[in-house]
Amino acid sequence: MTSPRPAPVPVPRDALPAAVLWDMDGTLVDTEPYWIAAEHELVDAHGGTWTHEDAMSLVGNPLLTSAQILRERGGVDLPVEEIVQFLIGRVIDQVRVKVPWQPGARELLASLREAGVPCALVTMSYRELAEPVAALAPADAFQVLVCGDEVERGKPDPEPYLLAAERLGVDVTRCVAIEDSPAGIASALASGAATLGVEAVVPVRPAPGLSRTPSLEHVDLGLLARLVADEVVDLMPVSL
């Protein structure tokens, strides 16, 4: 019989981040398979070829960037705006059936809400997709949404994370950003936020100042306090 998990040690509010800034696709919810299926459907309909490597190269990109790649590499003969709307529509259809929360995501959101730590959703998905996902999170989990159709420069530019901190009225360097993709991690690090990379669809490579975890199930308030105190934590298993 396994012993019960010890109760978490209370963390003083002033030791916690001023806010937690969450990426959505891949980090909070496992929607990347939905995007990839939509890409394959669209490319197939236009007689093109789309590989697993092609799909992986789009993870975390602004949607207009991904749409241009689908035109050039996948042979999709549509305006980029139409490609984006097709992809979003397909993913929204799937989200209405099921929101695939990443393990530990809802529990961490609830802990942050109970501790009084505000959260922002910082995503390159458009608001029409982000709002339904945020609405199904624990009540009052997100105070701010920053979406891909609301920024001039998407990830890997730091603008989305800087805007989220501005809207929350907090210092971005007192925030923790949680990300899964290379573009998102680059955006978060460039903003000055303490950055935690969660390995989901693509590998999270080591980088200066980047903390890493294989799952949100390993993340609690104590770990977030360590990150905002400038500690770099690597929970990835060591390869033999």
pLDDT tens for residues 53-98?
999 888 878 889 999 999 999 999 999 999 999 999 998 898 888 8
Residues in the chain: 240
pLDDT tens for residues 119-173?
999 999 999 889 989 998 999 999 999 999 999 999 999 999 999 999 999 999 9
Report, as residue numbers or ranges, the catalytic residues. Answer: 23, 25
What percent of the chain is modeled with pLDDT above 70?
A: 95
Contacts of 72 (CB under 8 A, 6+ apart): none
Task: Decide: 215 and 198 in contact? Cβ < 8 Å.
Answer: yes
Q: How far is the C-alpha of 8 from the C-alpha of 10, rounded, in Å?
A: 6
Residue 224: predicted pLDDT = 97
Going by C-alpha positions, the residue among 101, 58, 61, 100 that lies closest to residue 216 is 101
Q: How far is the C-alpha of 143 from the C-alpha of 175, rounded, in Å?
A: 14
**Can you tell me whether residue 143 is helix, strand or coil?**
coil
Q: Is the pLDDT of residue 3 over 60?
A: no
End-to-end Cα, the chain, rounded Å: 30
**Can you tell me whether residue 200 is helix, strand or coil?**
coil
Residue 95 φ/ψ, nearest 5 degrees: -65, -35
Q: How far is CA 232 from CA 138, 208, 228, in A?
A: 28, 9, 9
pLDDT band, very low/low/confident/very high, at 16 (cuts 50, 70, 90): very high
Residue 202: predicted pLDDT = 85
pLDDT band, very low/low/confident/very high, at 8 (cuts 50, 70, 90): low
CA angle, residues 138, 140, 145, in degrees to nearest 5: 100
pLDDT band, very low/low/confident/very high, at 99 (cuts 50, 70, 90): confident
Q: How far is the C-alpha of 105 from the C-alpha of 111, rounded, in Å?
A: 10
Going by C-alpha positions, the residue among 228, 229, 225, 230 that lies closest to residue 9 is 225
pLDDT tens for residues 186-230?
999 999 999 999 998 889 999 999 999 999 999 999 999 999 999
